[in-house]
Amino acid sequence: MHILYVDESGIEDLSSGTSHFVLLGVAIPSEQWKSLDSALGDLKATYDLRDAEIHTAWMHRRYSEQESIADFDALSRPERRTATELAVKRRAGGVGILGSAKKVKAYRRESRAIAPYLHLTRAERIACLEELAREIASRRDVRIFADAISKPDFKTGHSTPYEMAFEQVLTRFQAYLEVSGSTGIVVHDNNATAAPRLTKLARKYHASGTFYRKITNIVETPLFVDSSLTSMIQIADLCAFSLRRLLENGEDGLWNIVETCADRQGSTCVGVRHYTGRRSCTCRICKAHGRGAKRASAR
């Protein structure tokens, strides 16, 4: 049995936020789950993050509060935490934030998101993400399936970006299960908006297949879990973030590590698609996907 952990990166809304919306699943063979979960936990512990959620976007960014502290890197982890918490507290109180109460409120929300990582320098946070990525990449039978949608190329029609990406990821997972003679189950990050839609869609696919193929090897509708408690969902978040940053900013540090897990048939990386509609694209993902003569499809 394979468990597919699915998470998203980027904003689905076509009119705002990021240029891409990525939905990505990491398939783990169930017999590897225990050893992988424990390896990820041990790795997190070396960064004093054993019980923390690895939220890649928040860990990856620069913290100006830390950059304003003299010789920050030379401090011990407890000293760094104390010093950064003080800087955060001052700013959350409105010091140094120009503008409305709305901005202060947004900052308080941000400060809660970065709170678990304040004792780590940016280099340490990135090293932690890279080590987690390497742990995943070291497992021979872990596979990545993803759809990265270029939002300006998405035409609103029969489905939303989320639904199109979900169909694509599910189809690729099904194709992989067929070849490996295994069954699979899908586990999603809890998402109050998407949950009813995905459950309904999954039921439809179970009854009549996706646009591309019958769903014979996947059981149940997606299960929804709390990402803060599930390391594997955090890994899906890490991989989804890596793919989006590669496409949007050309940042390849993390994707270079996990790319080996992307599902392949021969030399073609069938598991990861960059959707740009009718617009041709020769990016690294499209080339690996065998795009060129053919437009993006579910091949």
Q: Binding to Zn ion by residue 20, rule CB under 5 A?
A: no
Tell me which residues in 264-283 interact with Zn ion (CB under 5 A): 274, 281, 283
- Taking the C-alpha atoms of residue 170 and residue 218, their distance in angstroms, rounded to an integer, is 9
Least Cβ distance, residue 269 to Zn ion (angstroms): 12
Least Cβ distance, residue 148 to Zn ion (angstroms): 8
Q: Binding to Zn ion by residue 149, rule CB under 5 A?
A: no
Nearer to Zn ion, 43 or 286 (CB): 286
Least Cβ distance, residue 264 to Zn ion (angstroms): 17
Q: Which pair of structure tokens corresponds to residue 225?
A: 């879990």
Tell me which residues in 64-93 interact with Zn ion (CB under 5 A): none
Nearer to Zn ion, 119 or 289 (CB): 289
Residues 6+ apart with CB under 8 A from 191: 8, 224
Least Cβ distance, residue 157 to Zn ion (angstroms): 21
Size of the site for Zn ion (CB under 5 A): 4
Nearer to Zn ion, 169 or 187 (CB): 169
Q: Binding to Zn ion by residue 296, rule CB under 5 A?
A: no
Least Cβ distance, residue 259 to Zn ion (angstroms): 14
Which of 146, 235, 286, 296 contacts Zn ion by CB under 5 A?
286
Q: Which residues bind Zn ion (CB under 5 A)?
A: 274, 281, 283, 286
